[in-house]
Structure 1
């Protein structure tokens, strides 16, 4: 760039002339002004040359204040590739490792739904059998075993165990809770009416519940832990889910007016922000809930597709059970997450009070319904009330509605699901879509 051209000089000169005329009323000739430009030209050229030698700045992405707030509010939940889950300073319950696609599993541990012949074959192999359990309510037997170092794929293991592809074999995967961070401000939330006031049974597979919370005074909650002996479950996530279903107080009204809640504790603490549940614990929880004849089970958790998980859920559904799951909080570009992505499971995405989709809510053809799950008031593990967000918070709406509809229709699942679909408020594209499913489910003005 060079300012030594006639056009630029005359522009600057004209500017100086105007300045002179307005400031002193003396008309200055252009030639006289041009003579004054040389020192100015030199300084400008030197500045430009220095600037051109500097490296170009890296473009800074334009992020809105709302986006920054949302990013800051998301918990830092990254975990190390290898994580020891300790009972105490001397004893480790198990070791979890990161696999492909950022999913996690117990190190070298696999599960096999085995018949007697397969169990005999397994016992003759170079594996360490951890447990063999029969689950009568699910009509299945499950073998948990550890494999030698270096056996990393299902195909390798099937070949080593002399099993064909029909064998229901998979890793002992880890599944995660699906919730965001609470906000500080809490306001009364008395506008929500219960889906019904009759006594209904409902189950949840989650973390522990702080049953001493004032929200649960006078409620009917039965809990059972499925964690290894000595390992305790945190009560953050479970308290929030239970609070939505049956919690009561000045700042909280329940989705079910009179629920008998059965809570299966499967989550353990991975970090300050993250909670994990082994597939083995989830299977045990399913068996317990089915054995107690729970008609609707809420699973506000997600993880990878798994042959044993699918078989267990199929077995539960055959016992006339409905399973509702969070769609996931990995965002609209996420791969499908399970169990919500199974066709037999009812997957729920989250919306806010203005019917806008939660920015981290998963999308896909497996989404069945949407429900309020953004900045909702509920009980917290610390004994207080607060606001939570996530598809975890949306799923209990659908679980509560189905519990009431099953009671209304004499436990007829088809009639209950048909009426739920008719109650859904269509949002987004007309008909079932990948964001809202059949539509949003809201608490009724009059109980179902």
Structure 2
């Protein structure tokens, strides 16, 4: 890769277990309260979430019906912009947490009828550049679907150590166009909420920064903590989709952020069906904060 390719990296994580098939609602999806929204008819229908990551298995049986479009910003596949397949596993896992289909097989995501715009900004090496990331954000901002759909949410489970002006400006362009930007906090934590660990873009005040907890609502020992984290979500032993039409359990704040992205899609779906008007980015942020439970210093996502 070209010089500078290590500017942006995946937030470290590892696959714990791989399954050829699955037939269950993941515990994290239950934990955030998604099932109650589904029962009321709010499934994130047609809310477009841009996933900036390693790409996605485009024909995964739990994802193919919800992938609306995509683009490749990396040199993978010879730089073919139309091939946004996942050359690792990370992006496919993130996508399934958000919008795995409720199709009575495999797994299901938090918002099973949301639509996914897959933007591949991390290459097969697990690395990328600020340029890839900025171009992906701007693409999400300007993308329009066949019937005029627009991106409402961007989620990123990646980052770098530097405060990059161009990246910050790209994020601000998206926010000003009513797009909520969600970022994982990082996995360099020391299991102490009183010490700070951070990475960008998660540490920007204007984004929704997400830390990780386990299924007992305890801080995940790897989760970064700092003064800009907005809320926490499940990030330990999370079951979701991976390439080759399989499933795997993974842990990381990379898994926590897409739980919040899926919840945001449900909140948009509910608000806009009930009010018949477009929910603003600031209203969506406020709704996310209100849909949390307090566990000491932790505000943990739970839809009400």
Structural mapping, 1:53-64, within 5 Å: none
- 1: distance between equivalents of 2:206 and 2:65? 34
Q: Does residue 347 in structure 1 map to residue 209 in structure 2?
A: yes
Q: Deviations over 1:193-239 (max 9, x none)?
A: 45532321111111111122222243333111112371586141111
Q: Does residue 286 in structure 1 map to residue 137 in structure 2?
A: yes
* Maintained 8 Å contact 2:109/2:262: no
Q: Does residue 182 in structure 1 map to residue 35 in structure 2?
A: no
Q: Secondary structure in 1 aligned to 2:7?
A: strand
- 2: distance between equivalents of 1:386 and 1:269? 19
- 1: distance between equivalents of 2:225 and 2:23? 31
- Larger RCO: Structure 1 or Structure 2 (Cα < 8 Å, ≥ 6 residues apart)? 2
1:203 to 31, 43, 50: 50
Alignment match, 2:120: 265
How far does residue 244 in structure 1 lie from its aligned partner after superposition?
1.0
Q: Secondary structure in 1 aligned to 2:174?
A: helix
Q: Deviations over 1:77-107 (max 9, x none)?
A: xxxxxxxx2xxxxxxxx13xxxxxxxxx35x
Normalised to the residue count of structure 2, the TM-score between the two structures is 0.80
Larger mean CA deviation between 404-413 and 318-327 belongs to 404-413
* Maintained 8 Å contact 2:196/2:227: no
2:288 to 420, 424, 430: 420
Q: Secondary structure in 2 aligned to 1:264?
A: strand
2:253 to 391, 395, 412: 391
How far does residue 405 in structure 1 lie from its aligned partner after superposition?
2.3
Unpaired segments of 5 or more residues in structure 1? 1-84, 86-93, 96-104, 107-172, 430-435
1:256 to 84, 87, 111: 111
Q: Does residue 244 in structure 1 map to residue 107 in structure 2?
A: no
Structural mapping, 1:32-431, within 5 Å: 85=1, 94-95=2-3, 105-106=4-5, 174-184=7-17, 188-190=23-25, 192=30, 193=34, 196-197=42-43, 198-228=45-75, 230-231=78-79, 234-248=87-101, 250-270=105-125, 275-292=126-143, 293-303=150-160, 304-332=162-190, 335-407=197-269, 408-409=271-272, 410-429=278-297
Q: Secondary structure in 1 aligned to 2:17?
A: coil
Larger-gyration structure (1/2)? 1
* Maintained 8 Å contact 1:406/1:412: no
Distance 1:417 1:188, change over 3 A: same
Q: Secondary structure in 2 aligned to 1:385?
A: strand
- 2: distance between equivalents of 1:296 and 1:184? 29
Normalised to the residue count of structure 1, the TM-score between the two structures is 0.55
Q: How many residues were matched structurally?
A: 265
- 2: distance between equivalents of 1:368 and 1:199? 26
* Maintained 8 Å contact 1:234/1:267: no
How far does residue 440 in structure 1 lie from its aligned partner after superposition?
0.8
* Maintained 8 Å contact 1:324/1:345: yes
Q: Deviations over 1:142-177 (max 9, x none)?
A: xxxxxxxxxxxxxxxxxxxxxxxxxxxxxxx61111
How far does residue 428 in structure 1 lie from its aligned partner after superposition?
2.2
Unpaired segments of 5 or more residues in structure 2? 81-85, 144-149, 273-277
Distance 1:215 1:257, change over 3 A: closer
* Maintained 8 Å contact 1:251/1:377: no
